[in-house]
Chains A and B, each alone.
Chain A
Amino acid sequence: MPDFADLGQGALRLVAPARPESIDLVHDLVAQLARTEDPPDPHDLMRFEMAVIEVIGNIVEHAVSTDPPEVTPRRFQLILDSTPAALEARFCDDGQPAEVDLESVTMPDPADAAEGGRGLALAMAAVDEVTYHRTEGINCWRLVCARS
C-alpha cells in the first residue's frame, strides 16, 4: 500500500511500489506543493513535475525490466522539499543499479524520429540539477528546480 506523509515545513513523502500505477500518486504529490504555504510559481512547478515524472518513469521501467515478476515489487521513497529558493525531489529505491551515466545523456536528434530515449534528457533540460548515485545498495536520485 502507498504511504503518504506530510513532514512539515514544505516537505512531503510518498512510499509506494515501483509500478506504473504509482505514477499517478507522484503527480498527486507534486500537485500538493501548490497547496503549501509558499506555493511555487506555476511554470516552476510544471518544469519540476516534468522532471520528477521522467525519473519515476525510469525507476518503474527499470524495476519492471529487471525484477522477476514473482517477487514482491520493489518500493521507492520520494521526498519533495519546497524551500524559498528551490523545489527539490529525492528518490531512493533498493532495486538493481540503474546503470545510468548522466554525463552521456543527450537529446536524440529530432530528424531520427526515435520513439524513446528522451526521458532523462528531458528531465535534465526541464530543471536545474539532476544527479544519480548508488550508495550501499540504494539508488538515489536528486532533482533541483530553482524558483524563478
Chain B
Amino acid sequence: MTTFHVHDAGRGIGVIAPEGRLNMVSARQLTSAIGGLIDAGTTRIVVDLEATDFMDSSGLGALIGGLKSARQAGGDLRLARPSEQVRTVLKLTNLDRVLRPRDTVEGAFDA
C-alpha cells in the first residue's frame, strides 16, 4: 500500500511524498495528487522520494506526465532525495537529464 503525503512548502511550492512503491497500482494516485495540486493553483511541485522504496516504468510515466502538466500550467516538477534504485531507473532510461534528481526538498527549486 502506497500513501501520498502532500504539503505546502511555501513560496508557491507543493510537496508530494510517496511512501511505499510507485508501480502500476499506485502510479494513478500519483497522477491524481499532482493534478490536484495543479488544479488548486500550485504549479511548482517537488516529488520527495525519500520514502519511495521502489519505482517502475509506470511510476516513471506518472512523473513525466506530471512534469508535462506542471510545465503546461507555467510551473515545473522536480525530484528530490531519490534512492539508488530510482536513480538507476532514471539513468537507464536516459531521463536523468529531464528529471534531474536534487539532494534536498528545500533546495529543489534553487537553480
Contacts and interface: CB of A to CB of B under 8 A. Distances in A.
Q: DSSP majority for the B interface?
A: helix
Interface string A58-87: 001100000000000000000000000000
B111 interface: no
Contact of A46 (B25, B58, B84): B84
A14 interface: no
B21 interface: yes
Interface residues of B, number: 25
B97 interface: yes
Interface of B: 21, 23-25, 54, 56-58, 60-62, 64-65, 67-68, 84-85, 88-89, 92-95, 97-98
Contact of B98 (A46, A50, A113): A113
22 contacts: A20-B25, A23-B24, A43-B84, A46-B84, A49-B85, A50-B88, A53-B23, A53-B56, A57-B58, A60-B24, A107-B94, A108-B93, A110-B98, A113-B68, A115-B61, A115-B64, A116-B61, A118-B61, A119-B57, A119-B58, A122-B93, A125-B92
A43 B83 CA distance: 12
A142 to B, nearest CB: 19
B24 A61 contact: yes
A128 interface: no
A116 B85 CA distance: 19
Q: DSSP majority for the A interface?
A: helix
A113 B64 contact: yes
Nearest to A110: B94
Interface residues of A, number: 29
Interface centre among B23, B65, B85 (most CB of A within 10 A): B23
A110 B93 contact: yes
B21 to A, nearest CB: 7
A89 B27 CA distance: 25
Given A46-B84, A113-B98, A122-B93, A27 B21 contact: yes
B56 A119 contact: yes
A126 B60 CA distance: 15
A21 B25 contact: yes
A11 B106 CA distance: 45
